Chains A and B, each alone.
Chain A
Amino acid sequence: MIYRENGQFKTSYGADQQIFPIAQDRYLVLAIIAFAFIGVPFLADEYYFRAILIPFLILSLAALGVNLLVGYCGQITLGAGAFMAIGAYAAYNFLIRVPHMPLLGALILGGLSAAGMGILFGIPSLRVRGLYLAVATLAAQFFADWAFLRIKWFTNDSSSGSVSVSNLQVFGFPVESPVEKYLFCLALLVVFGLLAKNLTRASIGRQWMAIRDMDVAAEVIGIRPMWAKLSAFAVSSFFVGVAGALWGFVHLGSWEPAAFSVDRSFQLLFMVIIGGMGSIVGSFFGAAFIVILPIFLSQILPALGGLVGVHVSTTVASHMELIIFGALIVFFLIVEPHGLARLWVTAKEKLRLWPFPH
């Protein structure tokens, strides 16, 4: 009854092609963004910012990047963690080696470095496809693990192998307290989210989707596979690289290569698959699911154990977490192989007919 587009007439092509053609969607999204900017800083306390909100925002950005490559261009990658690492370390080196480098500049340059490496490691995709490619992208992962551990120049010869940044500021505003960090990440995420959505609506995104659906057919109708695949690798790696730089700078503060291990790559791919491949909003759902679930499980399990009178030790609890996490992932894949985004679409369809389904 509420969610219905009756009476919303479009009088221009611009109005017809906008991102949210239904007014209710538009207002809802604007309201969510406004609430995230204005309401959340007053409501959440420091723990929520540190443990949930900031990781969620940064990993959403990374998942967005991975989704552009996996969901829109159909190239499965298991090397996303490597590009996060490249983004983080490149941004770090730009920040400390170039005098007066602004934070935003370092982030963008870090993203561009990741994009360059993305193109390099994307070259095999021109020959190799599917699962072979997925394994081949692991080469990037293990190479990055090794390079940032062994080549001391990248870590500025730090003796412990970990690097740290401090005293971050953007245009003179400090990015130090959790609220400031949250707002900074949120602002970036909104910009990049809009960028990603528009990329997928533009010709480049359509080329990616054509390649994904059937690359030989796409080539026949005149899409250059090399350009389409490598641009997908570049854009995706740029997003992931910026997210990696944010993860290092804003979330961790000081980090070592283990922060971007192969587990991170799997985590990002989980977000994309569980959220929904080829869906921008799915990336956010997936990120929220993967970030919140382990925290939720670690909170709820000891409580449940106490309820039935069993004392759950920390090792058992961590094993139970693993089991439940894995089982839930399998469960979600079975129940909704197209991800949470599909549930969202189904809900909207239902809502349009509600309360008169005929």
Chain B
Amino acid sequence: MAFFLETLIGGLMAGMLYSLVALGFVLIYKASGVFNFAQGAMVLFAALAMARFSEWIGAALGGDSLILANILAFLAAGVVMFIVAWVIERLVLRNLVNQEGATLLMATLGITYVLEGIGQTLFGSEIYKIDVGMPKDPVMMLESVFEGGILINKEDFYAALIAAVLVVLLTIFFQKTSTGRALRAVADDHQAALSIGIPLNRIWVIVWCVAGVVALVAGIIWGSKLGVQFSLATVAMRALPVVILGGLTSVPGAIIGGLIIGVGEKLSEVYIGPMVGGGIEIWFAYMLALVFLLFRPQGLFGEKIIDRV
């Protein structure tokens, strides 16, 4: 039982990390109808920027103030992500308005290559560390209930907490601020939003910016866990089932989907994996999402797809 609970909690926390990446997909799809395959590359790019800036700024400050260096690096990386968002909107999105979904998808794949190339040219292609002072030692919990207690990774716990805070902030931003309302209006209907005077292009920059900041947070958390390296870009592949499971248009869906996928992955790896030779995590997540899709083709919380002839 204790082992089961430990796996379950591990899965839930891994799930929160997936939802962080998935959030980026959902934000952009909601506001511009673009399925942004470049989200993984954005995570890598942001993490690279963060890692190198904190290294450079830390060196410039003399290396005694880790917190100050990290805050400055975070701001600098945020500025970099803003520039990325602005350039993407200017050069790509603006020219591809009203194209088919597949064409937009391919365009974001092109952006993926460009971002990977530029990121590694600017910031180097070795493995870097991000040290934001997250505690790494595991803690024991519920020792009074189970014998031996449950081992929980503190780092995962804080990461899940940060993810939760981010989601709450995003929800408030979307529901309560006027910019958030404009974003939702654009998501609903581009033309109607234009006709009541919402500047479409600025909204897109904002959305890609927000997605960039989400990518930055995801990059910092994933980067401090796994190290900043090229394979960080493949995190997006792990987050895709989360996105379709939760629904492409739903922020809460990304969270719930992440939790389901995280738990499903961990439980399957522990209980089914040994029977078939292990390593089933990645395709099991997709199969799980597929099973859900067979019952709800628009994902758990996606908007209902209505067909008219």
**B interface residue count range (under 10 / 10 to 19 / 20 to 34 / 35 or more):** 35 or more
- Name the A residues within 8 Å of B235 (CB-CB): none
Name the distance in Å between A163's Cβ and chain B's nearest Cβ: 18
Q: Which of A151, A216, A330 contacts B110 (CB 8 A)?
A: A330
A10: CB under 8 A from chain B?
no
Name the distance in Å between A337's Cβ and chain B's nearest Cβ: 5
Which residues 128-149 of A sit at the B interface, judged by CB distance below 8 A?
128-132, 134-136, 138-139, 142-143, 145-146, 149
**Which residue in chain A gives the minimum CB-CB distance to B94?**
A334
- What total count of A-B pairs have CB within 8 Å? 145
Most buried by A among B110, B112, B309: B110
> What is the CA–CA distance of A124 and B107 in the complex, to the nearest angstrom?
26
Which residues 215-237 of B sit at the A interface, judged by CB distance below 8 A?
237
Dominant secondary structure at the B interface: helix
**Interface 1/0s, chain B 254-283, versus A by CB < 8 A?**
000000000000000000000011111011
> What is the CA–CA distance of A330 and B290 in the complex, to the nearest angstrom?
30
> What is the CA–CA distance of A274 and B109 in the complex, to the nearest angstrom?
12
**Interface 1/0s, chain B 275-309, versus A by CB < 8 A?**
01111101100110110011001110000010111
**Which residue in chain B gives the minimum CB-CB distance to A325?**
B113
With A132-B248, A329-B110, A334-B92 known as contacts, the answer to whether A127 contacts B117 (CB < 8 A) is: no
**Which residue in chain A gives the minimum CB-CB distance to B278?**
A150
Q: Which of A127, A214, A262 contacts B293 (CB 8 A)?
A: A127
Q: Which of A138, A269, A322 contacts B106 (CB 8 A)?
A: A269
Which residues 75-102 of B sit at the A interface, judged by CB distance below 8 A?
91-92, 95-96, 99-102
Contact between A130 and B101, CB atoms less than 8 A apart: yes
> What is the CA–CA distance of A165 and B112 in the complex, to the nearest angstrom?
36
**Which residue in chain A gives the minimum CB-CB distance to B287?**
A139
Contact between B289 and A136, CB atoms less than 8 A apart: yes
Name the distance in Å between A331's Cβ and chain B's nearest Cβ: 8
**Which residue in chain A gives the minimum CB-CB distance to B291?**
A124
Q: Which of A139, A146, A270, A316 contacts B121 (CB 8 A)?
A: A316
**Which residue in chain B gives the minimum CB-CB distance to A214?**
B309
**Interface 1/0s, chain B 228-253, versus A by CB < 8 A?**
00000000010011011000100000
**Which residue in chain B gives the minimum CB-CB distance to A126?**
B294
- Name the A residues within 8 Å of B294 (CB-CB): 124, 127-128
With A136-B290, A146-B279 known as contacts, the answer to whether A270 contacts B102 (CB < 8 A) is: no
B13: CB under 8 A from chain A?
no
**Interface 1/0s, chain A 314-331, versus B by CB < 8 A?**
011001111101111110
B204: CB under 8 A from chain A?
no
Contact between B117 and A319, CB atoms less than 8 A apart: yes
Name the distance in Å between B283's Cβ and chain A's nearest Cβ: 4
Contact between A330 and B114, CB atoms less than 8 A apart: yes
Dominant secondary structure at the A interface: helix
Q: Which of A132, A135, A320 contacts B117 (CB 8 A)?
A: A320
Contact between A135 and B243, CB atoms less than 8 A apart: yes
- Name the A residues within 8 Å of B114 (CB-CB): 322-323, 326-327, 330
Name the distance in Å between A302's Cβ and chain B's nearest Cβ: 16
B179: CB under 8 A from chain A?
no
- Name the A residues within 8 Å of B96 (CB-CB): 333-334, 337
**Which residue in chain B gives the minimum CB-CB distance to A216?**
B307
- Name the B residues within 8 Å of A262 (CB-CB): 237
Contact between A139 and B107, CB atoms less than 8 A apart: no
- Name the B residues within 8 Å of A220 (CB-CB): 309
**19 CB < 8 A contacts A-B:** A70-B102, A127-B297, A131-B248, A132-B244, A132-B297, A134-B105, A135-B243, A135-B289, A136-B244, A146-B279, A215-B307, A216-B308, A262-B237, A274-B106, A315-B120, A321-B117, A322-B117, A327-B110, A333-B107
Residues of B within 8 A of A (CB): 35, 91-92, 95-96, 99-103, 105-107, 109-118, 120-121, 125, 237, 240-241, 243-244, 248, 276-280, 282-283, 286-287, 289-290, 293-294, 297-299, 305, 307-309
